[in-house]
Amino acid sequence: MLTNPAIPREAHEKAQPVISGLRDQLSRLFDTIPQDYTIAIRFEAGEDQ
Amino acid sequence: MTIREAGNRLRSGEISVVELIEQALQAVERDEDLNAFLTVTGEQALQTARLLDRELRNGRDLGPLHGIPIALKDLYQTQGVRSTNGSKLFDDFVPDEDATVVKKLRAAGAISIGKLNQHELAYGITSNNPWFGPVRNPWRPECIAGGSSGGSGVAVATGAVFCGMGSDTGGSIRNPAAFCGTVGIKPTFGRVSRCGCFPLGLTLDTMGPLTRTVEDAALIMNAISGFDPRDEATVDRPREDFVPKTNATLEHVRVGIPENFFLERLHPDVERSYRMAEEQAERLGGELQRIGIPDPEGLNVIARTTLLCEAAAVMRPYMHRRDEIGGDVMALLDQGTLLPATDYVNAQRVRRVMQSQWRAIFDKVDFILAPSAPCPAPELGQATVSLNGMEEDTRLAATKFLRGVNALGLPALAIPCGSSRDGLPLGLQLIGPAWSEKRLFAYGAALETAVEHPGSPATKK
């Protein structure tokens, strides 16, 4: 179970089923990502100075 | 009356800016039970109106928005005027500077008459605000106005203002446009500056207008679009005139009709309204093409994950003030706080793949015609909606056709299209490729003349 000390126990219990459901759906999508740099996270070093 | 018609009457001397503002303020008072406004800046507006009347008489004309009454969702920061973002957390926040969009609208001559009620922190679609009271639907006050820009939809639908500025992160312009019977444009991500607006979804938020006509929305977009170094998402592009030509048609326009998802589990009145629009699109010369939407449920999951994480990140400094955040919003912030960073990272990678899949769709069609909402506005407090015998969560149902467009960064123009048997307005959206707002306005202007308009809501005498 994912936890965060800043969140009260009741709120955790309320959030868990929603997050579990979402993460189940995400895992299907994540299986399709190539494990290389083909689709990475976009970041740029900025322009010439 | 449209913006152009108001402008003609101002310039002919038939009406003054002061009279326009007085009429707007009277309409606000008439419909105050709908709770669209949080702050009314009547005196300021009248002062500006007197100045703008003098300017017009002296030949200084600021353009089509000169003297036009508008209102601003309370997430737009306004100098010297309380700006709450619909939240108790910012109940007494008075900014010392206008948001960029507000500055641009003032420079164009538009006059804000006040700040509009909204869903708390712009994080929901009911505008049932726990701190400031619900925004009520002007067609049936026991129903929601939609959200999060509910006040914007009401202020425009009731005729109080020509433009209610809103924001769209997961449908928050298009949803109230549908539920209140107005036009609304969710621009391309990066088209309009968000500097001076309270953030929610850092890579999802867009700022845009709700209006009564497509041309009015285009006039507002002319004033507010453009690069701003203070919003790093904005893109430096050549200036465009978004106003559509008259006698617009859909001749040779490839109209995408979805084969899946957007036309599944619709309220019968929404289906009827959509099919009517489809017929009209063809009658206007459009070439209808059936298209498959790639993994729309997956796109919605990516959109939800992105928003949950970004909103929780943005709201991190306030998370300890749990008693000052409404239950529905707090639940979403907790969910976002608990999602692992790895899920956010991988969701962004999937998002890029999906953007590429949608670019391929727009090689085949010029825009996609879809409903904005699967049903008319539900009642205040209604937790689920029934669609083809299945109960769906109200928030998820109301956003399921909308939030994916935010995840993709694409523009979408919402137009009204007919009414339900109960007399509630219904709406469509025209989804286009990135940076296609000018074409969307042209297509929307053509369809607007052909589809049934819900008219104006009955108002108290």
Q: Is the per-residue pLDDT at B237 higher than 60?
A: yes
Residue B461, judged by CB atoms within 10 A of its CB (0-12, 13-18, 19+), counts as exposed
CA dihedral B356, B362, B367, B371 (to 10 degrees): -40
Residue A37: the pLDDT is 85
Residue B4, judged by CB atoms within 10 A of its CB (0-12, 13-18, 19+), counts as middle
Where is average pLDDT lowest: B181-190, B338-347, B387-396? B387-396
Q: Which residue bears the tokens 């997430």?
A: B75
Q: Is the per-residue pLDDT at B460 higher than 70?
A: no
Q: Give me chain B's average pLDDT, please.
A: 96
Predicted ipTM of the assembly:
0.93
Distance (Å, rounded) from C-alpha B59 to C-alpha B56?
5
Q: Across the A/B interface, how many CB contacts are shorter than 8 Å?
A: 70
Residue A40: the pLDDT is 80
CB contact under 8 A, A32 and B301: no
Nearest Cβ partner for A23 among B331, B334, B343: B343
Which is it for strands B390-393 and B206-211: parallel, antiparallel or unpaired? unpaired
- What's the helix, strand, coil split of chain B in %, to 5? 40, 20, 40
List, by residue number, the catalytic residues of B.
Answer: 73, 148, 172
Residue B343: the pLDDT is 97
Mean pLDDT across the stretch B65-80?
A: 98
Contact predicate B197/B309, CB 8 Å: no
Mutate to test the interface with B, among A26, A32, A37 (most CBs of B within 10 A): A26
Positions in chain A whose pLDDT score sits under 70: 1
Residue B458: the pLDDT is 63
CB contact under 8 A, A3 and B297: no
Mean pLDDT across the stretch B111-134?
A: 98
Distance (Å, rounded) from C-alpha B178 to C-alpha B212?
12
Q: Which residue bears the tokens 């997050």?
A: A19
| Omega within 30 of 0 (cis) for the link into B148 | yes
Residue B313: the pLDDT is 97
Residues of A in contact with B301 (CB under 8 A): 22, 25-26, 29
Strands (E), B273-403: 287-291, 367-371, 384-387, 390-393
Q: Which residue bears the tokens 């809501």?
A: B457
CB contact under 8 A, B305 and A32: no
Q: In the structure, what pLDDT confidence band is assigned to residue B453 with cuts at 50, 70 and 90? A: confident
Distances (CA, A) of B346 to A24, B303, B306: 14, 12, 10
Mean pLDDT across the stretch B366-374?
A: 97
pTM above 0.90, yes or no: yes
Contact predicate B155/B163, CB 8 Å: no
Mean pLDDT across the stretch B405-409?
A: 97
DSSP assignments along B20-83, one per residue = HHHHHHHHHHHTGGG--EEEE-HHHHHHHHHHHHHHHHTT----TTTT-EEEEETTB-BTTB--
The percent of residues in chain B predicted with pLDDT above 70, rounded, is 99
DSSP assignments along B135-169, one per residue = -B-SS-TTBB--SSSHHHHHHHHTTS-SEEEEEES
Residue A32: the pLDDT is 87
Mean pLDDT across the stretch B171-191?
A: 98
A21 touches chain B (CB under 8 A): no
Q: Count CA atoms closer than 13 A to B1's CA, side-chain side.
A: 17
Q: Is the per-residue pLDDT at B48 higher than 50?
A: yes
Beta bridge pairs of residue B163: B70, B211
Residue B196: the pLDDT is 98
The pLDDT tens digits for B126-141 are 999 999 999 999 999 9
Task: Let me know how long chain A is.
Answer: 49
Q: Which residue bears the tokens 């949608």?
A: B358
